[in-house]
């Protein structure tokens, strides 16, 4: 009787365990199928530009002319590719020092004030919609640059400024977690050897956390590279390579969002836009591989 009672108690736990395994397995399979379906769909649409429409890779990546309504049409995506890379890299250059210095201030210099006031404020920036960033950039940053620098204020520098504010929470959060996770004995040993606070931060904290800090910078660049609406509002959307940071240009995301609704599925221009989307997806994979490499380096 005791044994049968024990079997009755064990039976519900076995059912719950198998239910959990089946549910988690279903979620994993659904996630994998969704990812591969997206990759397959974007890849087939994007590659049809070369195999179905006969457009060469050199024209897409080497030409600077974008005339989809011309006779014959020309689809040179080099200005958009350079625009995406230039705004993302410049945004990371602007945001990375500010984010790392903010993380050092909140963790090492004034932790009580930083964690109580600054960290919540910085985290609030991540929840602001991108259209608000774009509108603020169009209303404040563009007129400010127009009054100081030559041009209309629209261009790479305006787009990079807006993006730097958008990626600031991402880099700051990762940098704060990395610095907080340092063993206390590491800094105490530096102080015991007679190092000052600045020497400890510069020669001990930053070199030790550098892989994690670079991970935050790369993730920030990945977000900046895929941002569309905020950049579209302040960059000018001109399909040419600018001669300065204060001339209008365009990005991959901007040309896709502006042109996709005006094309018919299966046309050459529509397929070219899918090719640009494929480039964005491949660049996202590159950023993910870089982050994985930095994480392995950090574990060592």
Mean pLDDT for all residues in the chain: 86
185 located within any domain: yes
| Within-domain flag for 143 | yes
For residues 78-94, average pLDDT = 92
Sign of CA dihedral 287, 291, 293, 297: positive
In a domain, 7, yes or no: no
User: Is residue 172 domain-resident?
Assistant: yes
Mean pLDDT to the nearest integer, 135-140: 92
Q: What angle do CA 153, 237, 98 make, to 5 degrees?
A: 55
Instruction: Decide if 27 is inside a domain.
Output: no
Quote the DSSP letter at residue 110. Answer: -
- Tokens 């015991």 -> residue: 192
CATH of residue 119: 1.10.3720.10
Q: Convert the pLDDT of each residue in 143-199 to its tens digit.
A: 999 988 888 888 899 999 999 999 999 999 999 988 888 887 888 888 888 888 888
Q: Is residue 217 part of a domain?
A: yes
Other Cβ atoms less than 10 A from the Cβ of 129: the count is: 10
pLDDT at residue number 32: 94
Confirm if 268 and 55 have CB atoms less than 8 A apart.
yes
Q: Give the DSSP H/E element, type plus range, for residue 75.
A: strand 74-75
Phi, psi of 67 (to 5 degrees): -130, 75
Q: Which domain holds residue 233?
A: 86-248
Asked if the structure places residue 58 within a domain, the reply is: no
Q: Is 64 helix (H, G, I), strand (E, B) or coil?
A: coil
Q: Are 198 and 217 in contact (CB under 8 A)?
A: no
pTM given for the model: 0.84
Other C-beta atoms closer than 10 Å to the C-beta of 199 total 13
Question: Distance between CA 215 and CA 86 in Å, rounded?
Answer: 19
pLDDT at 12: 67
The pLDDT, as a whole number, for residue 31 is 93
Q: Which of 34-48, 109-123, 131-145, 168-182 has the lowest mean pLDDT?
A: 109-123
pLDDT on residue 284: 86
Predicted pLDDT of residue 1: 44
SS3 67: strand
Provide the β-strand partners of residue 66.
75
Question: Count of domains in the chain?
Answer: 1
Q: How many CB atoms lie within 10 A of CB 43?
A: 16
Confidence tier at 2 by pLDDT (50, 70, 90) = very low
The H helix count followed by the E strand count for the chain is: 14, 2
| 254 within a domain of the structure (yes/no) | no
Greater model confidence, 266 or 89 = 89
């Amino acid at each position: 009787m005791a044994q049968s009672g024990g079997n009755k108690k064990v039976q519900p736990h076995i059912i719950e365990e198998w239910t959990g395994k089946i549910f988690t397995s279903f979620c994993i399979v659904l996630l994998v199928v969704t990812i591969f379906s997206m990759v397959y769909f974007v890849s087939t649409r994007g590659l049809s530009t070369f195999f179905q429409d006969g457009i060469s890779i050199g024209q897409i990546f080497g030409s600077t002319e974008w005339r989809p309504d011309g006779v014959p049409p020309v689809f040179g995506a080099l200005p958009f590719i350079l625009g995406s890379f230039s705004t993302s890299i410049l945004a990371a250059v602007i945001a990375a020092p500010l984010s790392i210095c903010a993380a050092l201030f909140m963790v090492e210099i004034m932790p009580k004030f930083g964690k109580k006031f600054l960290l919540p404020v910085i985290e609030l920036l991540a929840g602001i919609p991108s259209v608000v960033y774009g509108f603020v950039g169009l209303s404040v940053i563009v007129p400010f640059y127009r009054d100081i620098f030559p041009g209309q204020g629209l261009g790479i520098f305006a787009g990079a400024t807006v993006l730097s504010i958008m990626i600031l929470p991402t880099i700051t959060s990762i940098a704060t977690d990395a610095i907080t996770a340092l063993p206390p004995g590491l800094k105490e040993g530096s102080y015991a050897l007679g190092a000052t606070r600045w020497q400890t931060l510069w020669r001990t904290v930053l070199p030790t956390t550098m892989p994690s800090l670079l991970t935050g910078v790369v993730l920030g660049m990945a977000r900046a590279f895929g941002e569309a609406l905020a950049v579209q509002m302040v960059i000018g959307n001109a399909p040419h390579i600018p001669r300065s940071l204060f001339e209008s240009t365009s990005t991959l995301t901007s040309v896709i969002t502006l042109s996709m609704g005006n094309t018919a599925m299966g046309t050459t221009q529509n397929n070219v836009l899918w090719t640009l989307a494929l480039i964005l997806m491949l660049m996202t994979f590159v950023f993910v591989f870089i982050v994985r490499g930095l994480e392995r380096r950090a574990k060592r």
